[in-house]
Amino acid sequence: MESESKRLLQSMLNGAAEVISKKDELNRINVFPVADGDTGSNLASLMQAIIDHVSPREYSTKELLEEVASAALIGARGNSGMIFAQYLTAVAESYHHFESTFDGLVQAFQKAVHKAYDALLDPKEGTILSVMKAWSEALAGTYEQEGSFHKSLLNAQIVAEKALINTEFQMPILRKNRLVDSGAKGFYYFIAGLTNAYCGGTVSAPISLVEKEQTEEHVHFETSEPVYRYCSEFIIKKAAISHQNLRELLAPKGDSLVIAGNETQIKIHIHTNEPQEVLKMLAEFGVMTYQKVDDMRLQYEVTKNPRAKIAIVTDSIADLPEAFLLEHQVHVLPMNILAGEENFLDKLTIGPALMQGKLAQQQRMSTAQPTIRTVDALLSFLENKYEHVLVIAVSAKLSGTFQLIKQRIKARDLSADWIRVVDSRLNSVAQGLLVKQAVELVESGETWEGISWKIEQLIERAFIYVAVADLSPMVQSGRIPRILGKLAQKLSLFPIVSLDESGDGKLIGVSFSQKQSMKKIIKKVSKLQPKELAITHVSSERDAEIWQKQLEKKTGKTSYLVDSSAAIAISAGLGSVAVAGIKKEETK
């Protein structure tokens, strides 16, 4: 059967491409388990991973199935994506028990369905599982009678189509909205594309479904908002815990729990309000190699109750209150935080308490820009939901995030008339204030061109001053010139740090105590007559609150106070406090 592996690979790649091409349609009909409009994007992520990671070379069938399963685990996102990945993993595992024949392959497809069901805490009929089951049973049944893989694929596709149409009547939420299940339809497109390539037929959606989609607008889905806020996914290698024990451990932390993989690596999917706590629990049983956390509440609100036609996107270095981000539907790309072999997502799987512990232990930590897959997933979600997108990135002098986003926009061939990326030349609360101003401009009805122009003007008037408690992190990271930093450390001075016009870090002053540094900053800020102020701190809330009151007394401005991003905490160190603002526009 090894001569057939190349044909099977091309067929699977065609199936993957078919799902990717139907991404927007699958997003549009996504109402279960949460109407967050991302099932198409999630399945497309899985399929793209297969295309990217399975190289076009000669494989044995066993090797091919293992490569496809491994790639699927890397790209799997969301409920349907995780179930699909578990199914492909189970196919690869089941095939090991049979000889390299078509008989072994169809039996592996059939046996894998049971493992896909077992991966879920509460498997539901009327979902992707139902179509998987119908297809695999028809495939095995036909092959047993006919002995032809070609005929088996063609018949199994017909059976899968009927099962897909039937999903509309198997779940109340689908029947109410007169829709088939989005994940089930994604699986149908995959096997239709696979069958088309293998058998030389044509691929098309079921006629009844095409007609329905042309006559109905799937915009007002009647479903409740998510019970849990975050869709979280983790991969751990060499896990020292069984799937069953892991399921029992995590079940109280949320719902939609799916555990896929084998003893080599396990991928966990769970809807939860506590991604940091879930990560902490998982970290005890293996090496964490992957994390993904999506804000389902935000996705739901954007899909069901969009606040504006222009999306504002930023990265997690922008310090803003969490409630503001959700209320105003601001999309945030999480920075990666590296600590030894561990990897965290800024503000999602690592927060102030964990940061304080690691910094206190003087553990070597660093930041990394968001992953390509994270950026692509967000861009995919935003497409067809907004008329325009404005991305406000952390200073390009401090991070490669700005360049990464620009590169992904170019790679995806997205129009400059739809999306723009601004180098804020700022960070932390200064970047946060800029994002806040952008939101206010959008919600005031300002034009796309007007917002872009005004944001560029506001950057020129923004400032930030940081009273650093310990200069060591900034010297180690290169944020401050080593010679100046070492001199300040030798003299036991407390530095005041800011950003220059290009957005690079600069040392602007020193004091003999951090309290003295803050007095200098408050005096400097009051002279600037800011129109708005904000403060952030690294595990120093009590001191920050005191200085917040002094600033309000001096300037008359109400400032918000937030915990610093992990990225700022790493560069500025424990105890640091930053004050940022936007100066009033000069009258001509």
Query: How do the domains of the chain map onto residue ranges?
Result: 2-215, 224-305, 461-583
**Residue owning tokens 């008329």:** 387
478 backbone φψ class: left, alpha, beta (φ>0; ψ -120 to 50): left
Residue 211 CA to residue 490 CA, distance in Å, equals 76
**CA atoms 351, 477, 378, 260: torsion sign:** negative
- The separation between CA 161 and the C-alpha centre of its own chain, rounded to angstroms, equals 32
Question: So what's the pLDDT on residue 201?
Answer: 62
Residue 422 CA to residue 427 CA, distance in Å, equals 13
Which 3 state secondary structure label does DSSP give 408? helix
Question: So what's the pLDDT on residue 553?
Answer: 92
Q: Are strands 560-563 and 419-423 parallel, antiparallel or unpaired?
A: unpaired
Residue 567 CA to residue 370 CA, distance in Å, equals 12
CATH superfamily of 224-305: YebC, transcriptional regulation domain (3.30.70.980)
Question: So what's the pLDDT on residue 115?
Answer: 83
Question: So what's the pLDDT on residue 208?
Answer: 38
Q: What is the mean pLDDT of each run of 10 residues along the chain (588 residues)?
A: 78 94 89 72 89 84 91 82 88 73 90 84 87 96 93 96 91 83 95 94 45 34 74 87 92 92 83 94 86 92 93 97 96 89 88 82 80 86 94 94 91 92 97 98 96 96 92 64 70 86 89 92 92 94 93 88 90 90 79
Question: So what's the pLDDT on residue 502?
Answer: 95
Hey, what CATH class is 2-215 in?
mainly alpha
Give, rounded to a whole angstrom, the gap between the first and last alpha carbons of the chain: 80
- The structure's pTM equals 0.73
Peptide bond into 123 cis (omega under 30): no
Question: So what's the pLDDT on residue 479?
Answer: 59
Q: Which CATH number fits domain 461-583: 3.90.1150.10, 3.65.10.10, 3.30.1180.10, 1.10.10.10?
A: 3.30.1180.10
Question: So what's the pLDDT on residue 153?
Answer: 96
Instruction: From residue 586, give the alpha-carbon distance in Å to each of 410, 501, 525, 530.
Output: 37, 18, 16, 11
b/e map 425-462, b = 16+ CB within 10 Å: bbbbbbbbbbbbbbbebbeeebebeebbeebeebbebb
Question: So what's the pLDDT on residue 2?
Answer: 47
